[in-house]
Amino acid sequence: MNIAILGAILSAVGFGTANVVIKKALGNISIPQTLTFSFIFGAIFLGLLTLISGGRIELTTELLVTIGLLGVIEVLLYLTLYKAFAVANVTVATSLLSSYPVLATLITVVFLSQSIVPLKFGAILIIVLGAILVGVDVRSMFNGKLGKYEVVKGLPWVFVCLILHAIYFPALGGFTATGAWEVKLLGIKLTAAVLTLVIFVIFRKARFDLSSRAIKYTALLGLLEVIGWIGVSWASSNSTGLLAVIIAIGSSSTIVTAILARVWLKEKLQFMQYFGILLIVIAITLLALS
């Protein structure tokens, strides 16, 4: 249980820090370059990790097909995520997307035959509530600043992204729970890198900024996202029946984003954000003690 929680926290740190890097440094770098370069650098880092760990795996048709499908889903997940934030109100989008651990929990129970006791499910719900409070501007939701059009705009992209999150995290956790997870992650990241290169370079003829600043920050983003996926895989490979808990704790990346934004971007936290952080800490403590 402790390893699962540590791995999930590592995942939260990776993804949460990546969010701040995007907000801080990637404003002038295009989405195609952000995705493509982060996937490429992610594959490089995973390749080095695989060499260091000496991970080996027997390649089969089923394994290659699974890696290919997960690579496609990862690309779709990131594309819909960026599209959702581009066209939808960020407050509404973040709030809805933060609820994906609940749907992911149902998927782990139904399709992966994992059981979840009421206490753990209650803690997962508290984490989701805390993530929503930390990640959204609650004042805008209740002071009338969000009009009907803003709420509806972009919701199809948000819901598609929500479903992809709920499917991908349990699928990846289950896939990397056995065998050399480093090699499996490398295969998925290579697939994603090749797909984005084909889509953006060959078909869309996208132009990339090859300045040192762009390379530096996309490399950092690729590393942080890999750390996030490593946390999920390491936790799932060293635990049994805790995938829903791992996913829920990983979603607390909003805490890392909020704290780093306060320190690095000088953004002020609202009272409800502090309350959300407290809820998440309490819920993780309950999971650690249960």
Per-residue pLDDT of the chain (290 residues; tens, 9 = 90+): 578 888 989 999 998 898 788 776 666 788 888 889 999 999 999 999 999 988 788 888 999 999 999 999 999 998 888 787 777 665 566 667 778 888 888 888 877 777 778 888 888 888 888 877 877 666 655 555 555 444 456 678 888 988 999 999 999 999 998 888 999 999 999 999 999 999 998 888 888 888 888 888 899 999 999 999 999 999 998 888 788 888 888 888 878 887 887 777 676 777 787 888 888 888 887 776 66
Q: For residue 189, what pLDDT is reported? A: 96
Spatial distance between the Cα atoms of 86 and 99, rounded to a whole number of angstroms: 19
The pLDDT, as a whole number, for residue 156 is: 83
CA angle 98, 99, 100 (to 5 degrees): 95
Residue 153's pLDDT is: 62
Q: With contact defined as beta carbons under 8 Å apart, do 276 and 202 qualify?
A: no
- Tokens standing for 195? 């797909």
Cβ neighbours of 262 (radius 10 Å): 13
The label of the residue with tokens 């969010």 reads 19
Whole-angstrom Cα distance, residue 152 to residue 223? 34
Query: Helix, strand, or coil here: 180?
Result: coil
User: What is the Cα–Cα distance from 186 to 88, expressed in whole angstroms?
Assistant: 32
Secondary structure of 206-224 in HEC code, one letter for each residue = CCCCCCHHHHHHHHHHHHH
pLDDT computed for residue 253 by the predictor: 83
Q: What is the per-residue pLDDT for 144?
A: 54
pTM higher than 0.75: yes
d(CA 87, CA 216): 28
Q: In this predicted structure, what is the pLDDT of residue 111?
A: 78
Q: In whole angstroms, what is the distance from residue 21 CA to residue 39 CA?
A: 15
DSSP assignment of 234-268 equals: HHHHT-SS-HHHHHHHHTTHHHHHHHHHHHHS-PP
Question: Quick one: pLDDT at residue 90?
Answer: 59
Directed axis angle between helix 2-25 and helix 253-264, to 10°?
40
Distance CA 32, CA 204 (A): 9
**Distance from C-alpha of 156 to C-alpha of 96, rounded to nearest angstrom:** 12
Of 6, 31, 2, residue with least CA distance to 233: 6
Please give the Cα distance from 284 to 280 (Å, whole number): 6
The predicted pLDDT at position 25 comes to 65
